[in-house]
Amino acid sequence: MKYLCLGYYEERAWRALPEGDRQSLLEECRAYDEALWKNGYYLCGNALPGASGTITLRFEHGKVSVTEGPFCQSREQLGGILVLEAKDLNHAIQLMSRLPCMQMGGCLEIRPVEPAQKVNGELK
């Protein structure tokens, strides 16, 4: 089953780490992602830079309104996503518990994904 994993972290705590520690942690996470991929659990992942550079779009009174900043102003912000193939939710929790950056604190939200269908020129 597919799960979308959303990793939230506190940017201030991350920036307070020495540069060497940040790089080591990133490398540990990358190596863990690779181990997940080799086992067929990792489908895709993307890291996101800090919340600045984020834009939020809404439709208001028939027009698109564009605001700088994330959807939710929270202390912890989205730092990356990972799409996981796991046997079930417990398996997803086990796999994500060992993601190295989880030790920094933060929160990882796990959302089951709707089943996929192939696009073969047909609208379902």
Contact residues toward other proteins (CB under 8 A) are 2, 4, 6, 8, 26, 30, 33-34, 36-37, 42-49, 53-59, 64, 66, 70-72, 74, 76, 78, 81, 83, 89, 93, 96-97, 102-103, 105-120, 123-124
CA-nearest of 58, 94, 97, 101 to 80 is 101
What distance in Å separates the CA atoms of residue 67 and residue 57, rounded to the nearest whole number? 6
Minimal distance in Å, beta carbon 18 to other proteins?
20
- Give 11 or 45: the residue with its C-beta nearer to other proteins: 45
Minimal distance in Å, beta carbon 64 to other proteins?
5
- Give 18 or 119: the residue with its C-beta nearer to other proteins: 119
Name the helix (H) or strand (E) containing 5. Answer: strand 2-10
Minimal distance in Å, beta carbon 49 to other proteins?
5
Minimal distance in Å, beta carbon 56 to other proteins?
5
- Give 12 or 116: the residue with its C-beta nearer to other proteins: 116
Alpha-carbon distances of 51 from 22, 45, 47, 70, rounded to whole Å = 17, 18, 12, 6
- Give 16 or 71: the residue with its C-beta nearer to other proteins: 71
Alpha-carbon distances of 109 from 9, 22, 65, 118, rounded to whole Å = 11, 22, 28, 26
